[in-house]
Amino acid sequence: MNVPSYSSQDAPVPVGQIVIERAITPLDLGPRFNRTAADVVRFMMQQGEMVTATQSLSDELIEAFANDLGADIKIVNPGEEQEVELRKMLGFDDDDVEDDDVDEDAEGAPLRPPVITVMGHVDHGKTKLLDRIRNANVVDGEAGGITQHIGAYQTERNGALLTFIDTPGHEAFTAMRSRGAQATDIVILVVAADDGVMPQTIEALNHAKAAEVPIVVAVNKIDRENANPQRVLTQLTEYDLIPESFGGDTIVQEISALQDIGIDELLDQLLVVSELAELRADPDDRAQGVVLESNLDIGRGPVATVLVQTGTLKVGDPMVSGAAWGRVRALINDRGESVKVAGPSTPVQVLGLSEVAEAGDEFVIAPSEKVASKVADTREHWQRQSSLGRDAAATSGGARLEDIFEQIQRGEAAKLNLIIKADVNGSLEAVTDSLRKLETPEVSPTFVHRGVGGITENDISLAGASNATIIGFNVRPDRKAREMAEAEHVEIRTYEIIYKLLEDIESAMVGMLAPEFEEVVTGDAEVREIFSVPRIGKIAGCYVQNGVITRGSKVRFIREGTIIWKGDIKSLRRFKEDAREVAAGYECGIGLSDFQDLKEGDIIETYEEREIERSIS
């Protein structure tokens, strides 16, 4: 490495905030401050840190260097530095690329409706509850209260509005969060009174807790004969949800989504929680929010359902979301009506974007159409570049589900190539994110392609070319695609329930994973005498101190506490006879494979490798 030896220590440091990528090397860091790599290395040495010019630096070291120069820096993850620049272009002078809390600056702004997500175990009644609320309490409108499924809806209770995200379950919630978007203010945890707390109940409450979102428990199906709400309450206490009736502060409402019992009370409870949370947003701000759903509509083009989180979105606004941009052509509310504006906490469909936006992406209103298009184009450029990189990685040496086991057996870290097709963008994101989490050091899912829509011949040919398995979520292959898949031996798996999908892939992956071993000591013997046997070599006359010494077992040879050799027992004799095993308290002769340097007092320790049960957690 060529580290310039001259110093530039007197050069002025650039003014203003300098954006630095995390884990930068001195070679790249120096020039940002008009310094050389050598300056950086020298500084690190003065701090007692020996680093080379090409070694990654910790955040602390980067900060120390910047502080020393009196420079203002911001450390971001690789790739994010461009995003910071784009935010500046969009007119945000803030530091909060990672900070999704748009409420922060809203002190003194008017209250806004709460945004609520329904979670819980499968079949506990999440969908029924969402339907019940939607149909019973829809905001009265000219369309006669008929709602459209646009991914979220608003309902009214005693003059107050509540916004519900229309995708039940925690997968979508988590997918959003993993993209840095937090759309939800309150979680309703639905637990069926006849079934109690189940695995997904626990998952859901953990997700809500991780997001620090208040939880309101709805004990559902209380109309059922075998309903036992009290048992649910007791179970919940195990997860730190202490119901008010038990002296805690968790709000619990007994309901029957089927028979419309307790629904209004549940809404009242939600309003109480919302009031306590003091959710505020300034309707006069430039609109910002998050994309909940998006799809390509024949006739209308790309359609995105967005949740406005702050500000007011208006027809004609220049919007940008990820690589999609456009002047808002029309806004359609949850009743299918065309509206001109949408304020905080309002879900609304947006028409006029250049392409299908990604669920979970933030949207903002740009200062001008020109800026919107520039930002979107820049993002698209990076996305293409990084996806080219990904595709190249995916097609080189990836494997399909059925071949991956061999790859692992060869001791290679295996890539599981997948093509994901789903019905809508939201579920596509949810499936992808959940699959990503299954990654282990041995197997990593790689996405060759992800898309919305049915499984087509294009997908099959791509799968064939890249050794991929096709996963369909709420979509199926057409007949032609199926025939082609059979001919080309492409595997297609289709699912309707996300946890079934994950369960399948996960168990396949556990089955595929190379077993992991732990070493268990089985016995030890002390060397007391050394015999030389012609043509065989040295034999250790031993006394078995602990456990059992078994022929063929693995050995660590220990001298004064240090392992000096590892191998296995070649021969084991008691008196003149071959023995299969010798227990503690007996003497024996031990011959070791190719190890001859025996000394009195050495210890021969035998051990076994036992397989540890694997699971992916």
Q: Is 330 left (phi over 0), alpha (psi -120 to 50) or beta?
A: beta
Q: In sequence order, which residues have a C-beta less than 8 Å from that of residue 240 and are 6 or more positions away?
A: none
Is there a contact between 455 and 475 (Cβ–Cβ < 8 Å)? yes
Both structure tokens of 394: 């995916």
Instruction: Return the number of the residue (32 or 126) whose C-beta is nearest ligand GDP.
Output: 126
Residue 221 C-beta: closest distance to ligand GDP, Å: 4
Is there a contact between 166 and 188 (Cβ–Cβ < 8 Å)? no
Residue 260 C-beta: closest distance to ligand GDP, Å: 9
Beta bridge partners of residue 72, listed in sequence order: 17
| 603-612/516-533 β-pairing | antiparallel
Residue 217 C-beta: closest distance to ligand GDP, Å: 14
Among 168, 229, 347, 589, binds ligand GDP (CB under 6 A): 168
Judging by beta carbons within 10 Å of its beta carbon (0-12, 13-18, 19+), is residue 15 exposed, middle or buried?
exposed
Q: How far apart are CA 342 and CA 312, in angstroms?
A: 5
Question: Which residue has the CB atom at the shortest distance from ligand GDP?
Answer: 125
Please count the other Cβ atoms lying within 10 Å of the Cβ belonging to residue 399: 22
| 115-120/160-165 β-pairing | parallel
Residue 194 C-beta: closest distance to ligand GDP, Å: 8
Window 121-140: residues binding ligand GDP (CB under 6 A): 122-128
Both structure tokens of 54: 């090409």
Instruction: Return the number of the residue (86 or 266) whose C-beta is nearest ligand GDP.
Output: 266
Instruction: Return the number of the residue (224 or 300) whose C-beta is nearest ligand GDP.
Output: 224
Residue-by-residue DSSP string for 390-402: HHHHHHTT-B-TT
| 305 is a contact residue toward ligand GDP (CB under 6 A) | no
Q: Is 612 helix (H, G, I), strand (E, B) or coil?
A: strand
Window 266-285: residues binding ligand GDP (CB under 6 A): none
Instruction: Return the number of the residue (194 or 293) whose C-beta is nearest ligand GDP.
Output: 194
Window 216-235: residues binding ligand GDP (CB under 6 A): 220-221, 223-224
Window 45-74: residues binding ligand GDP (CB under 6 A): none
**Cα end-to-end span (Å), the chain:** 42
Instruction: Return the number of the residue (35 or 121) whose C-beta is nearest ligand GDP.
Output: 121
Both structure tokens of 617: 């957690």
Instruction: Return the number of the residue (40 or 257) whose C-beta is nearest ligand GDP.
Output: 257
Q: What is the identity of the amino acid at 429?
A: E
Instruction: Return the number of the residue (96 or 123) whose C-beta is nearest ligand GDP.
Output: 123
Window 103-122: residues binding ligand GDP (CB under 6 A): 120, 122
Q: In sequence order, which residues have a C-beta less than 8 Å from that of residue 258 and are 6 or more positions away?
A: 125, 128, 221, 223
The contact pattern for ligand GDP, residues 250-269, with x = CB under 6 A and - = no contact, is: ------xxx-----------
Beta bridge partners of residue 74, listed in sequence order: 19
Residue 498 C-beta: closest distance to ligand GDP, Å: 11
Please count the other Cβ atoms lying within 10 Å of the Cβ belonging to residue 340: 12
Residue 482 C-beta: closest distance to ligand GDP, Å: 29
Residue 154 C-beta: closest distance to ligand GDP, Å: 20
Instruction: Return the number of the residue (193 or 475) whose C-beta is nearest ligand GDP.
Output: 193
DSSP code at position 600: T
Instruction: Return the number of the residue (223 or 412) whose C-beta is nearest ligand GDP.
Output: 223
Window 399-428: residues binding ligand GDP (CB under 6 A): none
Instruction: Return the number of the residue (147 or 256) whose C-beta is nearest ligand GDP.
Output: 256
Residue 226 C-beta: closest distance to ligand GDP, Å: 10
Binding footprint of ligand GDP, residue count (CB under 6 A): 16
Contacts with ligand GDP by CB under 6 A lie at: 120, 122-128, 168, 220-221, 223-224, 256-258
